[in-house]
Structure 1
Amino acid sequence: MAFDRYVAICYPLRHSSILTNSLVMKIGLVILLRGCILALPYPFLARQWPYCKTNIIGSSQCENLSVVKLACADTRISSYYGLFVLSCRIGLDVFFISLSYIQILWAIFRLPSKDARLKTFGTCGSHICVISAFYIPTIFGSLVSRLGINMPLHFHIFISNMYLLVPPMLNPIIYGVRTKQIRDRLLRLFTPQGTKVFSPGGGS
């Protein structure tokens, strides 16, 4: 998405020729392969530990860290590898997203008029909100689980559910609010009957 915004703002006339269907498929394949390669060692590492405690994990999902915590052995290798995966996955994503937005901001500030700069920056606002809605709960949930912060079990479960449920739930809301027809429909829904709603361009 960051690359799409970068091409759309920095090379608007070449967007369709640069961001072709084949390129999008290749990018998706690379992301899929990266996830599979990074997650592949998890079950092998978890399998080698002896388990002598309860078989009930403290999570609503079968997360690798929750399973490893049940082991009766020194599981630092799994913890270190989990931190490595977290830094690779989120660190690389944040790096490339930041790199894209540095180029985007550089292109925006070179636009001649203030209105053009505001309008162009507004097209990136939804994407920034989606990024924040995904990465902030993910980072927070991962750090809370790994650092062993003294919090109740139900709070850990709540956090793990939030970073899986909140981002996809907010996605259509964030992008839908930018659509004029949806905004007008929401205004009519929440405006008392008989009250006129005036659009910025005038009229009712």
Structure 2
Amino acid sequence: PVDAGDGTTMAVTRIVLAGEPVPAFVARAPAVAHRLDSAAELYAAVVTGTRDYVRKNGFASVVLGLSGGIDSALVAAIAVDALGAGRVHTVAMPSVHSSAGSVDDAAELARRTGVVHTVVPIQPVVDAFHGALAGAGGLAGLAAENLQARVRGTLLMALSNAHGHLVLTTGNKSELATGFSTLYGDSAGG
């Protein structure tokens, strides 16, 4: 024990992990890995960053809205490559503005990747919001359009809270830069 100078003592305990030297082995010949093309290098970096972000923040799984579009499909593929399909939960949240094709595309992507997929129709929730705001003048235009994205974001955050998933956002940087992605909607998540 050593006096730390402030009235406390510190002690160092040594633990021997192995008493014997590592047995002799034939070393591999050094080699330089082939350089990835720029798209593959970028994809690998995003997969690594996603895996590290999820792990370092203490999450075991992720959840994301799967619309049938390319943005959410790419995020789902990144998540599967980063974590494995069993740790990725996708939620399709169709409304009156969702085509049957987009719902089918989302289900097909989920089937092909093996993720846990749920369909939660949101039209009743959107209608309830509209009804609640009718006495306050109601919603029209952009406010009405953004409402659906915000309902989706709220439902994903509720699933995150209930099951401990990290919500992954599917709004891309181009959408964020131009203001197309809805704050507290498509932009909700990590």
Give the TM-score normalised by structure 2.
0.23
**Which protein is richer in helix relative to its size?**
1
Considering only CA atoms, is the larger Rg found in Structure 1 or Structure 2? 2
Give the TM-score normalised by structure 1.
0.22
